[in-house]
Amino acid sequence: MHHAAYVFDAYGTLFDVHAAVRRHAGEIGPDGQLLSEIWRAKQLEYSWVRTLMGGAYADFWQLTEQALDFALRKVPSADPALRTKLLEAYWRLDCYPEVPAVLKAIKASGAKLAILSNGSPEMLGAAVKSAALDQILDDVFSVDAVKRFKTDPSVYDMVVTGWRLYPGAVSFQSSNRWDIAGAAKFGFRTVWINRTNQPDEYRDFPPALILPSLEGLLAGG
């Protein structure tokens, strides 16, 4: 752990995006996992499409709602009456079990810590509080400040501008391979947290390190 700054993606990296559906799996029925995957895929698709259109920003909470509405229509076995419960669960997502200890250890080493996320400030504030990470993080950077989503370079630039650092001084951790590609292109040192053993992609923008969870960061990675 020799980097001055550690920046973490939020959803999928610190917080389990599928926890919302899992919490209500009994009520949703057999297609819960499918519903969760469509919800997540559409949420991200909407963020990319709006950013590419230019001037079409809607915050991540709106995209999360729109994506769930699509998923509920696409998966007819899931009861649309669960919409409110599922959305509420998004404000209290579980963090992955190793997260608090790893973040505390990095903080104790003297490094700065932040989240850099597509999430709206309100969503991130709630998730951070719910996981009791508010005392550990130095900053929470939301794309809402630049009104564009990852992988737009202006998103990654918020960290180097805000902290007056060169990109190479930042270790950036994300479970999303596309996010790692964008951050690597920007110049961050990247660590892909490949939690679900996905095949590699974007091979011209490789991560410096691939880990199955955040725990490997403590091994001096």
**Mind listing the pLDDT tens digit for each residue in 19-74?**
888 889 899 999 999 999 999 999 999 999 999 999 999 999 999 999 999 999 99
pTM of the model: 0.95
Rounded Cα gap, residues 133 and 136, in angstroms: 5
Specify the DSSP class assigned to residue 11: B
Q: Is residue 92 over pLDDT 90?
A: no
Q: At what angle do helices 60-74 and 121-130 cross, to 10 degrees?
A: 80
Question: Closest Cα to residue 114, out of 145, 86, 88, 85?
Answer: 145
DSSP strands (E only) in 44-91: none
Q: Give yes or no for a contact between 190 and 174, defined as CB atoms under 8 angstroms apart.
A: yes
Count CB neighbours of 118 within 10 A: 26
Residue 116 φ/ψ, nearest 5 degrees: -125, 110
Query: In angstroms, rounded to a whole number, what is the distance separating the alpha carbons of residues 151 and 28?
Result: 32
Could you give all domains of the chain from N- to C-terminal order, each with its CATH number? Answer: 5-16+95-219 (3.40.50.1000), 19-92 (1.10.150.240)
Please choose, from the candidates 144, 136, 88, the residue with its C-alpha nearest in 3D space to the C-alpha of residue 116: 144
Please report where in the chains the tokens 């200890």 appear, as a residue: 101
* pLDDT tens, residue by residue, 117-173: 999 999 999 999 999 999 999 999 999 999 999 999 999 999 999 999 999 999 999
Q: Which of 9, 16, 94, 152 is catalytic?
A: 9
Active site residue 59: no
Backbone region of residue 132 per phi and psi (left: phi > 0; alpha: psi in -120 to 50; beta: other values): left
CA-nearest of 175, 184, 145, 183 to 162 is 145
> What would the pLDDT profile of 61-83 be if each residue is shown by its tens digit?
999 999 999 999 999 999 999 99
